[in-house]
Amino acid sequence: MRIKDKKREKEKDEHGPRHVTPAGRSVFHDLFDAEEAVELEVRATLLRGLEQWLAGSGMTQTQAAKVLGVTQARVSDIKRGKICQFSLDLLFRLAARAGLQPTVKIAA
């Protein structure tokens, strides 16, 4: 066995099996059960939309907080991508208040 092969084998043992998430699939499916993964994907999409709205608005966090009807600290959580701090229903309401017109599409 060559030295490089031994090194690769050792790396696999130390770090476990290597896994690559397929393109077009969320990493949430690798980490959570199917139901929770789907919810996290939707929450991440809404949060990302709010982050983009905030960045493009030119508003301060305090101004954005007034528009969204939350505290400045909550806007800071949005800006920092703190997904665990927001429920799905709150993210929908905040996106609507920001004028993002969130919609739901169900596919069979």
The string of pLDDT tens digits covering residues 40-60 is 999 999 999 999 999 999 999
Q: How many domains does the chain have?
A: 1
Place of tokens 């920092």: 80
* Closest listed residue to residue 76, CA positions, set 14, 86, 42, 27: 86
Kindly tell me if the per-residue pLDDT of 10 is higher than 60: no
pLDDT at 62: 97
The answer to whether residues 79 and 51 touch, using CB atoms and an 8 Å cutoff, is yes
pLDDT at 30: 77
* Closest listed residue to residue 54, CA positions, set 71, 38, 75: 75
d(CA 63, CA 57): 10
Does residue 13 lie within any of the structural domains?
A: no
Domain coverage including residue 56: 28-108
CATH code at position 68: 1.10.260.40
